[in-house]
Amino acid sequence: MLRSPLHDLHIELGAKMGPFAGFEMPLWYPSKILAEHKHTRSQASLFDISHMGQASIVGEDSATELEGLIPTDLKSLPLHRMHYCCFTAVNGGILDDLVIACLGQDYFVVMNAARKEHDLNHLRTNIKKSAVLEHTENALIALQGPKATEVLRRLTPEICDLQFMTMGDFAIRGVPCIVSRSGYTGEDGFEISMAAETAMKLAKDLLNEPEVMPAGLGARDSLRLEAGLRLYGQDMDTTTTPVEAGIQWTISKSRRTGGARPGGFPGADVILEQLTNGAGRRFIGMLPQGRAPVRTGTEICLEDGKTIGRVTSGLVAPSVGAPIAMGYIDRDYASPGTQISLLLRGKHVPAEVIRLPFVKHRYQNTVKIQSNSSGGKSNV
């Protein structure tokens, strides 16, 4: 089992540790998931996400070569700006979702922990002219919540000028870091990459701030679910296309039919056809009645029992105090307000289709730089 550079700190803080993508990571601390979740929504929480993959693609052909794997306009991505995107498969499915940042001619990518090996292999197999460098020497932490800015303003005020989905080099209390204004909780926040040996000092400095509490992967999961953010391997995988998964806004206008550089990524025929005609199923939010959480794998059906979809994520939302779920549904039933039924332990639970997210995103310093997104998503 691999360990994060912050492993000893988690033990010291009394974390309940558990396996995640080959790492032993904190699931929750003694305050537990509900309190950590609510603290993140009202104050600021520190998450260790060192298990995620970090890599650089280096060389003058980086943008061209990456565009061969990703349906996003990377050539127009300004310096230090980041974009949420996905590696697509030949069948139009999603190989992984990732965040990519422009470092000039080079690019920096952050990948899902469970897909890191796959992604690096995918990059190295398909990228010939540029170098793919993995940054295993780095730790990665996230400071998330409405008070994150206040905390960092005390430590390194210039960080607070970062716009949402941009990054820069900073020193926090003398520790050199790459900081981005980003995260996966729906809250304003920052992700900080630094050399592993400096992570402990910085994490402790941040935890010493009165607003900051540690939060584990359990709260990270409930927070992202409320924010309607998909989890790879659960809400999307190689059998779901970006259009079905509702992240078609990651496909830039220039890469679409009629754009400047249409297609040229794996599965383009399938994905571009779905962009034109719509996909047969859609990713939606659901509000089940009652109190019971509805989990992954639960069938979505009609009153007469006909199956029309499947739940991929669900829980009792800590901020809402009621069950919420997300999943795929036949497009005929995907409109918000549609009444559906969820088959839970043999019983039908009535539910309503709603527009995601469940909890409004509260990103700060947002600025729209590309007019290429569709579907009204403005969170990236």
Partner 1 sequence: MSDTRYSSDHEWARSEDENSATIGITDYAQEQLGDIVFVELPEEGATFDAGDEVAVIESVKAAAELKTPVSGTVTEVNSDLEDSPETVNESPTEDGWFCRLELSDPSELDDLMSEEEYEEFTSNLE
Residues that bind partner 1 (CB under 8 A): 16, 27-28, 32-34, 37, 218, 221-222, 291-293, 295, 315-316, 318, 345
Which residue, 18 or 263, is less far from partner 1 as judged by CB? 18
What are the φ/ψ torsions at residue 100 (nearest 5 degrees)? -120, 140
* Strands in 211-280 per DSSP E: 212-214
Shortest reach from residue 347's CB to partner 1, in Å: 10
User: Residue 16 Cβ, how far from partner 1 at the closest point, in Å?
Assistant: 7
Is-contact 150 3, C-beta < 8 A?
A: no
In Å, what is the CA distance from 89 to each residue of 131, 195, 285, 337, 380? 22, 33, 25, 33, 23
Question: What's the closest the beta carbon of residue 224 comes to partner 1, in angstroms?
Answer: 13
The pair phi, psi for residue 257, each rounded to 5°, is: -55, 125
Nearest CB to partner 1, comparing residues 295 and 310 = 295
Beta carbon nearer to partner 1, 12 or 137: 12
Q: Which is nearer to partner 1, 56 or 319 (CB)?
A: 319
Residues in contact with 98: Cβ distance below 8 Å, sequence separation at least 6, in sequence order: 84, 85, 86, 87, 109, 110, 111, 112, 119
Distance CA 43, CA 212 (A): 7
User: How many CA atoms are closer than 13 Å to the CA of 178, on its beta-carbon side?
Assistant: 23
What whole-number distance in Å separates Cα of residue 63 and Cα of residue 332? 39
Q: 50 CB contacts (<8 Å, ≥6 apart)?
A: 4, 5, 6, 23, 138, 139, 140, 141, 196, 199
Shortest Å distance, C-beta 295 to partner 1: 6
Q: Taking the complex as a whole, how short is the minimal distance between the CB of residue 292 and partner 1, in angstroms?
A: 5
Query: Least CB distance from residue 37 to partner 1, whole Å?
Result: 8
Q: Which is nearer to partner 1, 16 or 377 (CB)?
A: 16
What are the residues whose beta carbons fall under 8 Å from the beta carbon of 44, sequence distance 6 or more?
143, 144, 145, 146, 147, 148, 150, 151, 189, 209, 211, 212, 213
Residue 322 C-beta: closest distance to partner 1, Å: 10
State the nearest-atom distance from the C-beta of 314 to partner 1, in Å.
10
Nearer to partner 1, 128 or 345 (CB): 345
CB hemisphere CA count around 56 (13 angstroms): 16
Q: Residue 178 and residue 191: Cα distance in Å, rounded?
A: 8
Instruction: State in angstroms the smallest separation of the CB of 313 from partner 1.
Output: 12
Count Cβ atoms within 10 A of the Cβ of residue 311 and give its class: 0-12 exposed, 13-18 middle, 19 or more buried.
Answer: buried
Select 139 or 349, whichever has its Cβ closest to partner 1.
349
Per the document, the length of the chain is 380
For residues 193 and 215, give the distance between their C-alpha atoms in angstroms, rounded to a whole number: 17
Preceding amide of 357 cis, omega within 30? yes
- If the CB atoms of residues 28 and 108 are measured against partner 1, the closer one turns out to be 28
Give the nearer residue to partner 1 in terms of CB position, either 160 or 316: 316
